[in-house]
Amino acid sequence: MPRPPRPEGVITRGTTAPNRLRRADRWIASVHGPLLRRADRPLVVDLGFGASPVTTAELFGRLRAVHPRVEVVGVEIDPDRVTAAKPREREGLSFRLGGFELPVDRPPTLIRVFNVLRQYGEDEAWAAWDRLCAGLSPDGVLVEGTCGEIGRRAAWVTLEGGGSRSGVSVPRTITFAAHLPTLSHPSQLAERLPKTLIHRNVPGERVHELLTAFDRAWAAAAPQSVFGPRQRWVTAVELLARDHPVVTTPPSGGRARWRLGEVTLPWTAVAPR
């Protein structure tokens, strides 16, 4: 009997914590809930769940509230982590050994990948995007990002299949999310940029121009601090939207999302030059 193929990828540090990915999960459930509801039995893959399956189980619970038949598969390249996760399995939630090759029985509707690609090079991260998007269902999406140790600052990109600079993945949007009471200025979120952008945060690149403009808007919104950090953030986003293509309409934009400490822009606003 032939041996199963070796999982594609590199083992991560595996650090995680309860509710670390709650900001991204909340956004996924709201923004991509309609996509999941259109499928009879949507499959969601959580790639690289780490040393604990807790965030995969949380994603499952949050998405089951969106669609009662959603299936979530946690995928890890470390066999010991998969073994440790197995007791958490239940109907609709499972854990498997694998990597970028996606060891699932059908193309997923959504793939979540967090805190995985930071250890790769920029070109390798682009290649990973392409590899994962190639495995999506025809209308599927990839949500790839990074967050802090307890999830207070995060950034993620939403991608679709269909063609990019290398022919497969299409970055559509970038979202920044923060715990506003602990945010001193928006450019602090630069440390959570995806690998394809983090080294581009230099003068002359769009992402640097965006974050610099966001800091200026934050400073101009300082008088709103008397009403709390949430109002200051909303005002700063409104000021930023005067000169940058901030998404201003639901489901991924508008004051309801901004009040949660989020802002979403099209990928073109930050795409590398």
Q: What are the DSSP calls for 222-244, one per residue?
A: GGGGGG-HHHHHHHHHHHHTTTS
Residue carrying the six token digits 């598969």? 73
pLDDT value at residue 254: 97
Q: Is the pLDDT assigned to residue 2 strictly greater than 70?
A: no
- Specify the pTM: 0.95
Q: Where are the alpha helices (DSSP H) in 135-194?
A: none
Q: What is the pLDDT of residues 4-38, one digit of tens each?
A: 678 888 888 878 899 999 999 999 999 999 999 99
Q: In what order do the strands lie in the sheet with 262-266?
A: 93-97, 71-76, 43-47, 110-114, 141-147, 153-161, 169-178, 262-266
**Does 17 fall in a domain?**
no
pLDDT value at residue 235: 98
8 A C-beta contact, residue 36 and residue 67:
yes
Across 216-254, b (16+ Cβ under 10 Å) vs e yields: bbbeebeebeeeebebbbbbbbebbbeebebbbeeebbe
Quick one: average pLDDT of 259-264? 98
36 sits in which H/E element = helix 33-38
Q: Helices then strands (H, E): number in the chain?
A: 9, 8
The domain in which residue 220 lies consists of 22-267
**Does 2 fall in a domain?**
no
Nearest to 47 by CA among 128, 164, 139: 128
Q: Which domain CATH number covers 211?
A: 3.40.50
**Does 168 fall in a domain?**
yes
pLDDT value at residue 121: 94
Quick one: average pLDDT of 114-136? 95
**What is the chain's mean pLDDT, rounded?**
94
**Does 3 fall in a domain?**
no
Quick one: average pLDDT of 82-110? 97
Report residue 80 as tokens.
């010991």
Determine phi and psi for 243, rounding to 5 degrees.
-125, -5
Confidence of residue 162 (pLDDT cuts 50, 70, 90): low
pLDDT value at residue 164: 46
pLDDT value at residue 3: 58
C-alpha to C-alpha distance for 110 and 42, rounded to whole angstroms? 8
What's the structural domain count of the chain? 1
231: Cβ–Cβ under 8 A, 6 or more apart, which residues?
224, 225
**Does 245 fall in a domain?**
yes
CA quadruple 128, 193, 51, 96: dihedral sign? negative
204: Cβ–Cβ under 8 A, 6 or more apart, which residues?
273
pLDDT value at residue 11: 85
**Does 5 fall in a domain?**
no
**Does 10 fall in a domain?**
no
Quick one: average pLDDT of 232-255? 98
CB atoms within 10 A of CB 79: 10
**Does 273 fall in a domain?**
no
pLDDT value at residue 169: 85
Helices 54-64 and 22-31: crossing angle, nearest 10°? Answer: 30
